[in-house]
Amino acid sequence: MSETSETAAVSPSQPNPLLKAWQTPFETPPFAEIAPEHFLPAFEQAFADHSAEIAAITHDPATPDFANTITALERSGKLLSKVSAVFYDLVSANSNPALLEIDKEVSLRMARHWNPIMMNAVLFGRIALLHDNRATLSLTSEQARLLDRTYTRFHRAGAGLDEAAKTRMAEINERLAHLGTAFSHHLLGDEQEWFLELGEADLDGLSESFIAAAKAAAEERGMPGKTVMTLSRSFVDPFLRTAGRRDLREKVFKAFVARGDNGNANDNNEIIVEILSLREESAKLLGFPTFAAYRLEDSMAKTPEAVRGLLERVWKPARARALADRDDLQALVAEEGGNFALAPWDWRYYAEKLRQVRANFDDAAIKPYLSLDHMIEAAFDCATRLFGVTFSERKDIPVWHPDVRVWEVKDSAGKHQALFYGDYFARPSKRSGAWMTSLRDQQKLDGDIAPLVLNICNFTKGADGQPSLLSPDDARTLFHEFGHGLHGMLSNVTYPSLSGTSVFTDFVELPSQLYEHWQEQPQVLRQFARHYQTGEPLPDDLLKRFLNARKFNQGFATVEFVASGLIDLEFHTQPAAASRDVRAFEKAELEKIGMPAEISLRHRPQHFGHIFSGDHYASGYYSYMWSEVMDADAFGAFEEAGNIFDPAVAKRLHDDIYSSGGSRDPEDAYVAFRGREPEPDALLRRRGLLETPEAA
């Protein structure tokens, strides 16, 4: 929300901007006019409108057909979608205390609104009748897919349960909505409240760009002239890699991993226990033995056993590589005269030193060549060469914060295709992490509706007009989220429910992770990795060392991820009673898999927002790795063609993956693109975890 909108007065004589037609370019949200007080009245109206639309469908006296039931459902709730998209963008990307309070109310009201819809027996009866007779309906392939997904969605929500079970399911859903909101608010609270002021003696090893960003962070916190560390991952990761003060690395690391686990008002332990208990109960009401069994039935993986099989297959070689690296790091500590055992807050620091020895490369050497603006250009250029889309910046589109930038996207024929919003910098009002979302999805049901797609990141902002310099991980994140963005922008479907990223969780990461491959291609880096001061291109020697260093420390990276995936799976396959003591459960599970003591989970349970802020990734964190099997294999199609921008392969990628949204079964879509199922060892090969001379 813009600074003006946070203080905008709400006048009874002025119409609510959320309830009127937007007289802005491309009918985009007029953020400067929107105040927190506008949201509850807008939600009230949206809920009422949607309920009336659902009632009209439910009680339509005409015989159910695709148009009066499924298409009518697709057309319903437009105002609710419009208001929700703006609200949740602001809550996550530019919150304030007023919005967070409203969020508590909205999450409860949202559950109370959707429960009677998704469990409406009469409405479900209409959908089920069509589903039972689908072979006789002469549907297009997209309509058949939509009918199947609509039936599945209602069935899995409990529409077929008896009344007592529906009542209990509604209670569970309301409580889970409240708990998920509380979890994310607690996490944001811990991140906002903690900071570490750094004095001159504390800056050893830190780059000039990092120090400048830390001074800018102090300014944002009302501490001009100071230098502060925050708990944004974009601060924590480089600090742990480069800070020479071991005691400060320990302090920062412990604060970072303790988010949501401090025994204060933001503690998430009791919330986790209750969430797991309620999820288990809801799964059993629906006839499943565990929440994981329920969740994974509607995924590519299908079963917890399939997920565990993939994670364990990767775990063994990753752990072996990590343990070997640990011994080398400990030896390096001893060489430097360190009389201590390697600890989790030491790993990144000594791994960076070891990488300099083995690969003659460190992140600090390449960061001056990875300015944010140049990497945005690179991401755009790759999309132009692959898919024909072009990007031109617009200064006339309203935004929620002055740092947000907007580009108009046009297709190869020059026709408007989308707007793309980039919100790249960390700030206290933004939740941590990086994500893609939308303010409006593509559809063609009622006119050709172009999407409004958002990328939200937490990069450190350059100070005093200096550009933001990205680490290799940051640059990869930018391409990852832009891959999601392309999935939304290139969508070409008729029905809103099948638009863009509306696909299985373990397929949705394919377009994003696949796009990462272009960021590390020599011809892309040679063109766009230019020194931010001199404009000189990335030297060939440094490029070669960077590419050779890519597989370094992959044991660590894979272990911290796979361990988090396994913990997620165990939380949702074991009885909820087993995890009443969250810390003890975490400890026991890590001991069971042989987690190296020197490596921490990428996400400890108490701040594992992927699985506890909502249920989208619950039992589904493995999805990133499931998709990586496909993305590593999929990029092979370009390598085999001998051209990373091969037009024929790119056309299949566009048609079968990026533009088809949820209109196709994901396995069919992948096979249509690749000509076969993915080859699982591609993942291990990409991470350098196969026992081959190349990987050794």
Distance CA 658, CA 651 (A): 10
Q: What is the pLDDT of residue 680?
A: 77
Query: Chain-wide mean pLDDT for the chain?
Result: 94
- Residue 347 is predicted with a pLDDT of 98
pLDDT average, residue stretch 391-404: 98
Given a cut of 90, whether residue 94 has pLDDT beyond it is yes
How confident is the model over 673-688, as a mean pLDDT? Answer: 88
Q: What span, in angstroms and rounded, lies between the C-alpha atoms of 274 and 172?
A: 10
Q: Can you give the residue ranges of every domain in the chain?
A: 3-160, 194-242, 269-361+553-621, 369-548+625-686
191, 280, 408, 481: the active-site residue: 481
Cα-based distances in Å from 372 to 402, 479, 483: 17, 11, 16
Residue 25 has pLDDT above 70, yes or no: yes
pLDDT bin (cut points 50, 70, 90) of residue 262 is: very high
pLDDT exceeds cutoff 90 at 302? yes
User: Pick from 106, 90, 91, 132: which is nearest to 40 by CA?
Assistant: 106
> Please, which pLDDT band fits residue 687 given cuts at 50, 70 and 90?
confident
Q: What is the pLDDT of residue 228?
A: 95
* Architecture of the 3-160 domain: Orthogonal Bundle (1.10)
What's the burial of 311, exposed, middle or buried (CB within 10 Å: 0-12/13-18/19+)?
A: buried
Assess whether 219 carries a catalytic annotation. Answer: no
Task: Supply the pLDDT for residue 11.
Answer: 52
Kindly give the interhelix angle for 121-132 and 39-58, rounded to the nearest 10 degrees: 50
Q: Report the alpha-carbon distance of residue 313 to residue 552 in Å, rounded.
A: 20
Q: Note the pLDDT of residue 226.
A: 95
pLDDT tens digits for range 481-516: 999 999 999 999 999 999 999 999 999 999 999 999
pLDDT at 465 (0 to 100): 81
Overall average pLDDT of the 231-247 stretch? 94
Strand pairing partners for 394? 406
Weakest-pLDDT range from 126-130, 232-236, 636-640: 232-236
The CA-to-CA distance between both ends of the chain, in Å, stands at 50
Residue 314, pLDDT score: 94
Query: What is the pLDDT at residue 440?
Result: 98
pLDDT surpassing 50 at residue 82: yes
Structure token pair of residue 166: 């529906």
Q: In which band, very low, low, confident or very high, does the pLDDT at 692 lie, cut at 50, 70 and 90? A: very low
Q: Which two tokens stand for residue 453?
A: 């797609």
Report, as an integer, the average pLDDT of 286-297.
98
pLDDT interval class at 372 (50, 70, 90): very high
Q: Domain 369-548+625-686, CATH 3.40.50.11540 — does that match?
A: no
The conformation of residue 656, written as its DSSP 8-state character, comes to I
- pLDDT score for 160: 94
Q: How far is CA 675 from the centre of its chain?
A: 29
Q: How confident is the model at residue 12 (pLDDT cuts 50, 70, 90)?
A: low
Distance CA 1, CA 100 (A): 13
Is residue 662 pLDDT above 50, yes or no? yes
Q: With bands split at pLDDT 50, 70 and 90, how would you rate the model's confidence at 363?
A: confident
Position 682 scores a pLDDT of 83
* Arithmetic mean of pLDDT, 177-203: 95
- Structure confidence at residue 8 as a pLDDT band (50, 70, 90): very low
Superfamily of domain 269-361+553-621: Neurolysin, domain 3 (1.10.1370.10)
pLDDT for 686? 84
Rounded Cα distance between 13 and 33, Å, is 14
In this predicted structure, what is the pLDDT of residue 3?
Answer: 35
- At 425 the pLDDT is 95
Residue 648 has pLDDT above 70, yes or no: yes
Reference 366, options 358, 375, 378; nearest CA is 375
Residue whose token pair is 């975490």 = 586
Cα gap 216→546, rounded to integer Å = 29
441-455 pLDDT tens trace: 999 999 999 999 999
- What are residue 114's DSSP bridge partners? none
State the Cα–Cα distance between residues 394 and 262, nearest whole angstrom. Answer: 44
Decide: 344 and 598 in contact? Cβ < 8 Å: yes
The predicted pLDDT at position 548 comes to 86
Q: What is the pTM of this model?
A: 0.91
Q: Measuring CA to CA, which residue among 94, 276, 259, 80 is closest to residue 184?
A: 259
Q: Sort 680 into a burial class: Cβ within 10 Å, 0-12 / 13-18 / 19+.
A: middle
Provide the token pair at 672: 């249509």
Task: Tell me whether the CATH fold assigned to 269-361+553-621 matches the one assigned to 369-548+625-686.
Answer: yes
The DSSP H or E segment spanning 641 is helix 623-641
Q: Is the pLDDT of residue 693 over 60?
A: no
Q: What pLDDT score does 132 carry?
A: 98
Flag whether pLDDT at 5 surpasses 70.
no
